[in-house]
Amino acid sequence: MISKAGKALNGHLDHRNPLVFDTHELGRRPGALKRLTRSVDAPGSPVLGIDGVIGVPEGAPVELDLRLESVMEGVLVTGTARATAEGECVRCLEPLTVEVDADFQEMFSYPDADDRGRSSAAEPADDAEDDEDRFFLEDGLFDLESMLRDAVVLALPMQPVCKETCAGLCSECGIRLDENPDHHHDALDIRWAALQGLAETVQDGEKDNMGGAEPGVDEKQEK
């Protein structure tokens, strides 16, 4: 797995990618601010969402509202992504759509930023662990895709339903219960199943005996 830092520093970002943004206009001036909006196609492979459950289809429009603010360490990116996700109800398996409104905020650090918050006695291993959790600018560019994926996943329901009152499917035959509210099956309590089998056996035996005389009857008549 490539770390956030490694991906940013070694990924050679392409400014033509719609999810790559340029911060050069901020000029590394703390306090400088830039707002922008952009409509992009949802990336795929993996899906933008929860794979196999619900997600924004590849190529579907994603509306981005971003705020880029220059600070001492880098650029603070705050934004909102809006899109429509598709999936199926976990109860009745009917198709459904969910409007996604995902908020996010992340710091993209300058590669040469002064890490004033670190202790002078910090070990190299500690520095490496810190870098794993950081995003970096590359030649003034940053890639929003990783942060966008995380934000959308958090904004989506883990167990999507078509409606909160969805009754789901019949466990016996699979019929949709919302469309058949009176649907039911007469089920035998398994605790009585053995007794019912015994009763049927006794009844069958009685029927067989009714076809002939009881033992000893002929002898009494002869006497």
DSSP assignments along 27-87, one per residue: TT-TT-EEEEEEEEEPP-SS-EEETTTEEEPTT-EEEEEEEEEE-SSEEEEEEEEEEEEEE
CB atoms inside a 10 Å sphere around CB 166: 17
The DSSP call for residue 222 is H
Scanning 90-184, the segments in alpha helix (DSSP H) are 124-132, 145-155
Per the DSSP assignment, residues forming a β-bridge with 67 are 35, 78
The DSSP call for residue 213 is P
Q: What confidence score (pLDDT) does residue 8 get?
A: 43
Q: What confidence score (pLDDT) does residue 175 get?
A: 85
Dihedral class, residue 31 (left if φ above 0, else alpha if ψ from -120 to 50, else beta): left
Does the pLDDT at position 185 exceed 70? yes
Residue pair 67/79 in contact by the 8 Å Cβ criterion: yes
Q: What is the mean pLDDT of residues 107-115?
A: 81
Query: Tokens 């009494």 appear where?
Result: 220
Q: What confidence score (pLDDT) does residue 162 get?
A: 93
Least confident of 16-25, 145-154, 155-164, 185-194: 185-194
pLDDT-derived band at 145 (thresholds 50, 70, 90) equals very high
Q: CA torsion, points 106, 108, 109, 111, in degrees to nearest 10?
A: 150
The verdict on whether omega for the bond into residue 95 sits within 30 degrees of 0, i.e. cis, is no
Q: What is the mean pLDDT of residues 107-127?
A: 62
pLDDT-derived band at 184 (thresholds 50, 70, 90) equals confident
Q: What confidence score (pLDDT) does residue 205 get?
A: 61
**Whole-number percent of the chain with pLDDT over 70:** 70
Does the pLDDT at position 77 exceed 80? yes
Q: What is the mean pLDDT of residues 28-50?
A: 93
Give the three-class secondary structure for 136.
Answer: strand
pLDDT-derived band at 2 (thresholds 50, 70, 90) equals very low
pLDDT-derived band at 198 (thresholds 50, 70, 90) equals low
Q: What number of residues does the chain have?
A: 223
Does the pLDDT at position 9 exceed 90? no
Does the pLDDT at position 49 exceed 70? yes
